[in-house]
Amino acid sequence: MQKYIDIIYNAYFGYFDYLKNEILYPSFLNYFWWLFGLSVFVWLLEIFFPWRENQSILRKDFWLDGFYMFFNFFLFSLIAYNAISNVAVELFNDLLGSLGVENIVAIQVESWPTWVQFLLLFVVADFMQWNVHRALHKYPALWEFHKVHHSVEEMGFAAHLRFHWMETIIYKTVQYIPLAMIGFGLIDFFIVHIFTTAIGHLNHANLRITYGPLKFVFNNPVMHIWHHAKHLPKGLNGVNYGLTLSVWDYLFGTAYIPNEGKNEALGFEGMESFPKTFWYQTIYPFHTKKNNENISQ
Ligand SMILES: [Zn+2]
Ligand SMILES: [Zn+2]
């Protein structure tokens, strides 16, 4: 038990020191300043080359989404995720140990060239995320959490990281075992993380970019705005689930871009009654779950 308490203590204070250093000492290997720099860069593009010219520079929910960005990228890790995940990994390894499994690594990638490792991690992780994202739309209990992301009404770069913290737990949990099996564990390759953050910012930006023929490989603002469209063809609970790569949607038939969708209404049915503030959006899924249970009883 003491071991787990130590892990929580070290995770919490270790991360606090890490965050403090990140903010105080800008460098090229620094998530905080990369996120800040990328955000300013994409925001400037939105200001100078807007797709929807009538959208305000400080669009609806700009500051709320900015807070989500900081919260999900840093604070949630500081408050809980770092400790939870370290304990979960230790428990998982202890469980494997008690079953006589010393190592779940199925493929040793360490001897491979670094760029191949990058590419493999990126493609495997992105495909898993595509599947998780589909599940977030398909299963009502998960959709309650994902509604936060879909409650954005005016798209801009900061909407990228507007999501419920439970999504971090769901995505990372589902990804952990397959990535550990190819020897990646919980580590993130810095360059992959920065690249996916940049594409994610651009997907939500008020910019008309499609990357030409590369649109069949990379997700883009025109494709992703349809993911947020309020009105979809009957019977579909989602389209264009891609995060960084669009290729999965083309391969599995979930791509849908009927037109550019520049002024398409965004959101979901009944969002008028969806909470408008961070705190109420955070507790909302837990309430609806309770309400549904009460109804079904
Ligand atoms: Zn979605
Ligand atoms: Zn989105």
How many angstroms separate the alpha carbon of residue 14 from the centre of ligand 2?
Answer: 31
90, containing H or E segment: helix 82-98
User: Residue 294's pLDDT is what?
Assistant: 45
Give the ligand with the smallest distance to the CA of 223.
Answer: 2
How many angstroms separate the alpha carbon of residue 52 from the centre of ligand 1?
Answer: 22
Residue among 194, 197, 262, 192 nearest 223 (CA): 262
Contact 153, 274 (CB under 8 A): no
State the Cα–Cα distance between residues 38 and 98, nearest whole angstrom.
Answer: 45
Tokens, residue 289: 């779950």
Tokens, residue 254: 């979930």
Tokens, residue 124: 């495997």
How many angstroms separate the alpha carbon of residue 28 from the centre of ligand 1?
Answer: 31
The whole-number mean pLDDT for each consecutive block of 10 residues of the chain, a chain of 297 residues, reads: 74 73 76 90 96 91 93 75 69 76 68 82 91 96 96 95 92 79 65 90 95 96 96 90 97 94 92 92 80 45
Give the ligand with the smallest distance to the CA of 221.
Answer: 2
How many angstroms separate the alpha carbon of residue 149 from the centre of ligand 1?
Answer: 7
User: Residue 15's pLDDT is what?
Assistant: 72
State the Cα–Cα distance between residues 167 and 33, nearest whole angstrom.
Answer: 24
User: Residue 104's pLDDT is what?
Assistant: 63
User: Residue 247's pLDDT is what?
Assistant: 97
How many angstroms separate the alpha carbon of residue 96 from the centre of ligand 1?
Answer: 34
How many angstroms separate the alpha carbon of residue 146 from the centre of ligand 1?
Answer: 7
How many angstroms separate the alpha carbon of residue 130 from the centre of ligand 1?
Answer: 10
User: Residue 123's pLDDT is what?
Assistant: 92
Give the ligand with the smallest distance to the CA of 133.
Answer: 1
Task: Reduce the DSSP state of residue 106 to 3 states and report it.
Answer: coil
User: Residue 295's pLDDT is what?
Assistant: 42
State the Cα–Cα distance between residues 297 and 291, nearest whole angstrom.
Answer: 10
**For 259, left (φ over 0), alpha (ψ -120 to 50), or beta?**
beta
Strand partners, 229: 266
Domain count, the chain: 1
How many angstroms separate the alpha carbon of residue 253 from the centre of ligand 2?
Answer: 19
State the Cα–Cα distance between residues 18 and 115, nearest whole angstrom.
Answer: 27
User: Residue 76's pLDDT is what?
Assistant: 77
Residues in the chain: 297
User: Residue 78's pLDDT is what?
Assistant: 62
Domain residues for the domain of 270 are 2-296
Give the ligand with the smallest distance to the CA of 219.
Answer: 2
173: Cβ contacts below 8 Å, ≥ 6 apart: 88
How many angstroms separate the alpha carbon of residue 18 from the centre of ligand 2?
Answer: 29
Task: Give one DSSP letter per residue of 148-199, joined into a string.
Answer: HHHT-SS--GGGGG-S-HHHHHHHHHHHHHHHHHTT-TT---HHHHHHHHHH
